[in-house]
Amino acid sequence: MAILKGIAGAVAGYALGFAVVAAAQLAMGNPVGGAVPVVIGSVFATVGWLLGVGLWRAWAREWFGLEPRLDVPTGPGRYFRFNTDHKVIGVQYLVTFVIVFGLAGLLAMVIRWELITPAADLGGDAYNQVMSLHGILMVAVAVAAVLGGLGNYCVPLMIGARDMAFPRLNALSYWLIPPVAVLLLTAPFVGGWDSGWTAYPPLSVVNAGGQVLFVVAIVIFGLSSILGGLNAIATILRMRAPGMTLMRMPIFVWSVLAASIISLLFTQFFAASLILVLLDRVAGTTFFEAAGGGNPLLYQHLFWFYSHPAVYVMILPGFGITLEVLTHFSRKPLFAYKGAVAGFLGIVVLSGIVWAHHMFTSGMAHFMNIPFMALTELISIPTGLVFLSALGTIWRGRLWLRTPMLFALAVLFNFAIGGVTGIYLADVATDIHLQDTYFVVAHFHYTIVGGEIFALMAGIYYWYPKITGRMYREGLGRLHAVWMFLAFQLVFLPLFVAGIHGMNRRINEYVEPLRGYNVFASVAAFVLGAVFLIALGNLVWSWARGRVAEANPWRATTLEWTTSSPPPPHNFEQTPEVVGDPYPYGEPGAVHVRPVTVPTIAGGSE
Amino acid sequence: MAAVTEHLTHEHPAERLRTNRLGLWLFIASESFLFAALISARYYLLGTERSEHLNQALGFAISLVLLTSSLFAYRAETAARFGDQRGFRRATATTIALGLLFMVGVVLEWREGLAFFPPSTLYGSAFFTLVGFHAFHVFTGVVALALLLFVGRDGRFGPENHWPVEGVVKYWHFVDVAWVFIFPTLYLVK
Amino acid sequence: MAKPETVQGRRSAMALGTAVFVALIVLDAIEFVVAQVAGQLLLWMTLLAIPQAALILWFYMHIRQLWREEAH
């Protein structure tokens, strides 16, 4: 019902926005049409959608002095409306982005199918659009699935809060996502866009009209990401339970804080760079038009000033999940907790001053090469701290090799490869050869898929009993972990070699000698893709029929495991009191939370 | 007004106020990165070069208008915090009027500018984008102030309930701070 | 909040606002004049814009409330 109202609002908003611009065009004696009414229509449609779907009822009424109406729905219907419960929003994010992940994964299969042969089977234009859509959808998954999904669900539970700091803003952040999806998926019908997810001008200023929808979609997505980051920071700084000092927070919470700082601040640069592209297209400005005195390199600077830090938005929460799982499943306190925190914060600081390592071959001034190379390689120091923490934790631990742990161990292996190969891309001398080859593709898939997505899987299995109240099938989970790990290596290891031999990224044809690597990688990719069918079957079936899980199936120490599975609407029957470090394994008498001794009457949480 | 959120998060009103403030400051920090991006684009493309046809006097005049509006925004907030309804209404209305006057100045400036440095020139690109983004922020601020005036007509803002006023006024001041950097960037440096 | 203090407190708050405003106007005017006569303008303009921004952040936006409780 709420969704129908949202759709009605979107249609009305689009019509209104389009009409206003068309009227203005008529008044000025210009021909009606072009990109401007579509842009304004899309923005109005997004506002209309939000108001219809619940923003008006729950929030905007207040701005006009009316009483807001906030109902707390129950049952499955609660997932399909403007709901302020962070647990509902977390599930909304997770399910949405699992679907997006599946869609983008299918596009990856199309890419690998095209690349089995050296010839162009699919056609260059179609391939470019498939590759671009795969890129941006996966970037969206990587940015939002862990932070928006698991971050939303787990952070308030882990710090003993009832909800996020701004529950309605949280709902708003989620409901901004559907317009993004609609815009991205309708773009192919107006010519699509073929610029890759990076959308470099001059191409992005002159190509088909789908690029305009891409720009609007990403600006909206950026807004969602900024508001989500804002909410997470405020929640972590302001909503912690009594006794939960910053240095007693579970490490995942620290990683969400660090990643949120980046998405709060740097996302504005992506929005700004795309808006400048839009202005060049529709308002006749000349930022990137060399003939008018502009400079396309400006785009790359603005874009990478966000988009390099963005990879830490992706990987930091992945590190957080990995450390979290490693410590619980090694039954040891997290090694060098402070070092890991320092590593996260060090990465945040350095992330803002390394962007130009993406531009060594772009033609920027040569004097910038060496400083950016050195700064980039400095990042291995805070990253090394995180690895130190991980390895020190499993060292002589009693490893409990359940599914989450298998994924977490895989992250260490994968990210080590992704990190080491990154050195060749940070070094100017080798990067000039490797730039825009499959070596880069393999490198960032090892860091983001091998790091973050494996960590996302670890997190999904780890918190699955908490979120659903049921247990997944352990055997199928382990099969997923082992299969995905092996197939992943088989896909991307050969691509490093293909890249060294000069296989270009983003191009659907290649020379005959590279065929062997590609056939191998494509077959392995289909095998990798198949495992997600098993995983999905396991997770969906178990949610409906799985064994009922107890409150703390892992016998873990952090706060989310002290409440029921799934937790009650306000998370805790009684405000928890934190008295010690988060991982007091093997320390006699030490506890993280003061045990609840006197059972209280429900609702007495004042 | 914030009762809904207090209910959802179970915070004491004083604690809620501090959380709201933090949230707004984080938003302001984020927005300042947006203006930083646009200002750095201007310097990246043009260095300190600027058009000879700028009306510096007009730019200075609208700067003074905006600074004056900040004084009245401050007075509106102070009045609301001390429960002075008449003072709150008068100062808010004055702030709105000054905000509109600023926008009139921008329109005059644009009419002149379009002739000398249209958006198809590099300086025009930087000028119209930066001023346009800022003027849009002024516009949203005026809308928010007008809503405050409308909602507060029943005297609901007072010592116990001044966050909505405080929040909008802080945003208004931020828009002023942005102009403090945009004005020299576009009109003065050379 | 005690009532007699309220009038006092309000007056001094309003006076503070006016004083800050005068300082802002003066700085802005200096900035404008310097821009007509001096060279090295990027440096000068930055040096003159920062105190204006600081005055607004500190006195008008009460940035210290972020780390300190409200005084009254």
User: Quick check: is C2 in a domain?
Assistant: no
Which chain B residues contact residue C18 at CB under 8 A? 71
Is the pLDDT at C3 greater than 70, yes or no? no
In angstroms, rounded to a whole number, what is the distance separating the alpha carbons of residues A567 and A605? 15
Does the distance separating the beta carbons of B124 and A285 come in below 8 Å? yes
Give the minimum alpha-carbon distance from C68 to chain B in angstroms, rounded to a whole number: 10
Q: Which domains occur in chain B, in start order? A: 56-188 (1.20.120.80)
What secondary structure does DSSP assign to B127-167, as a single string? HHHHHHHHHHHHHHHHHHHHHHHHHGGGS--BTTB-HHHHH
Among chain A residues, CA nearest to B29? A265
| B1, B26, B121, best to mutate vs chain A, most A CBs in 10 Å | B26
Average pLDDT of the residues in C41-61? 95
pLDDT tens-place string over residues A360-405: 999 999 999 999 999 999 999 999 999 999 999 999 999 999 999 9
Q: Do B22 and C57 touch (CB under 8 A)?
A: no
Of A223-227, A428-432, B7-11, C25-29, the one with minimum mean pLDDT is: B7-11
Q: Which amino acid is at B57?
A: A
**pLDDT band (50, 70, 90) for residue B93:** very high
For residue C27, give how far its alpha carbon lies from the nearest alpha carbon of chain B (Å): 11
* Residue of B22, B29, B36 lying closest to A238 (CB–CB): B22
- The closest of A471, A441, A485 to A545, measured between CA atoms, is A471
Contact: B180, C18; criterion CB under 8 Å: no
- Interface probe for B, chosen from C20, C57, C60 (most Cβ of B below 10 Å), is C60
- Percentage of chain C surpassing pLDDT 70? 88
Confirm or reject contact between B83 and chain C (CB < 8 A): yes
- At C61 the pLDDT is 96
- Helices within A31-123 (DSSP H only): 35-50, 61-63, 86-114
| Structural domain count, chain C | 1
**Residues of C with CB below 8 A from B60's CB?**
28, 32
Asked whether the predicted pLDDT for residue B21 surpasses 90, the reply is yes
Angle at the Cα of B21 from the Cα atoms of B17 and B24, rounded to 5 degrees: 140
Q: Which of B60, B74, B84 has its CB closest to that of C17?
A: B74
pLDDT band at C9 (very low <50, low <70, confident <90, very high): confident
- Type of residue found at A178: P
Distance in angstroms (rounded) separating the CA atoms of residues A535 and A39: 39
pLDDT in tens, B111-134: 999 999 999 999 999 999 999 999
Residue C1 inside a domain? The answer is: no
C49 within domain boundaries: yes
User: How far is it, in rounded angstroms, from Cα B22 to Cα A22?
Assistant: 41
**8 Å CB contact of B75 and C14:** yes
Q: pLDDT-based confidence at C72, cuts 50/70/90?
A: very low
Q: Which of C6, C45, C60 sits opposite B70 (nearest CB)?
A: C60
**Calpha distance A301→B141 (Å, rounded):** 30
Report whether A402 contacts A329 (CB < 8 A): yes
Does the CB of B13 have a partner CB in chain A at under 8 Å? no
Is B129 close to A301, i.e. CB distance below 8 A? Answer: no
Q: How many residues does chain A have?
A: 606
Q: A74 CA to chain B: closest CA distance, Å?
A: 16
Give CA–CA dist B187/C65, Å, rounded.
Answer: 34
- List all residues 6 or more positions away from B111 whose beta carbon is below 8 Å from its beta carbon: none
Using N-to-C axis directions, what is the helix angle for A124-144 and A177-186, rounded to 10°? 170
| B182 in contact with C, Cβ within 8 Å | no
Q: Which residues of C touch B (CB under 8 A)?
A: 1, 6, 9-10, 13-14, 17-18, 20-21, 24-25, 28, 31-32, 35, 41-42, 45-46, 48-49, 52-53, 56-57, 59-61, 63, 65-66
Tell me if B112 sits within 8 A of B55, measured CB to CB. yes
Q: Check CB contact of B64 with chain A, cutoff 8 Å.
A: no
A83-123 tens-digit pLDDT: 999 999 999 999 999 999 999 999 999 999 999 999 998 88
Could you tell me which chain B residue has the CA closest to the CA of C19? B71
Evaluate whether A117 touches A58 at the Cβ level (below 8 Å).
no
Question: Alpha helix (H) ranges present in A331-449?
Answer: 337-351, 369-378, 380-394, 403-426, 428-434, 438-444
- Confidence band for C1, pLDDT divided at 50, 70 and 90: very low
pLDDT at position A605 is: 41
In this predicted structure, what is the pLDDT of residue C2? 39
Residues of chain A with pLDDT under 70: 597-606
On whether the CB atoms of residues A112 and A517 are closer than 8 A, the answer is no
Q: How far is CA B101 from the centre of its chain?
A: 13
Nearest CA in chain B to C8: B82
- Does A234 contact B23 at a Cβ distance shorter than 8 Å? yes
Domain range holding C59? 7-71
Lowest average pLDDT, out of A206-220, A374-388, B9-23, B24-38, goes to B9-23
From chain C, the residues in CB contact with B79 under 8 A are 10
Alpha carbon of C44: minimum distance to chain B alpha carbons (Å): 9
pLDDT for B138-188, tens place per residue? 999 999 999 999 999 999 999 989 999 999 999 999 999 999 999 999 999
Among B108, B92, B80, B99, smallest CA distance to B141 is for B99
The amino acid occupying position B153 is R
Count of beta carbons in the 10 Å neighbourhood of residue A425: 19
What is the reported pLDDT for A606? Answer: 37
How near does any CA of chain A get to the CA of B50, in Å? 14
**ipTM of model over 0.85:** yes
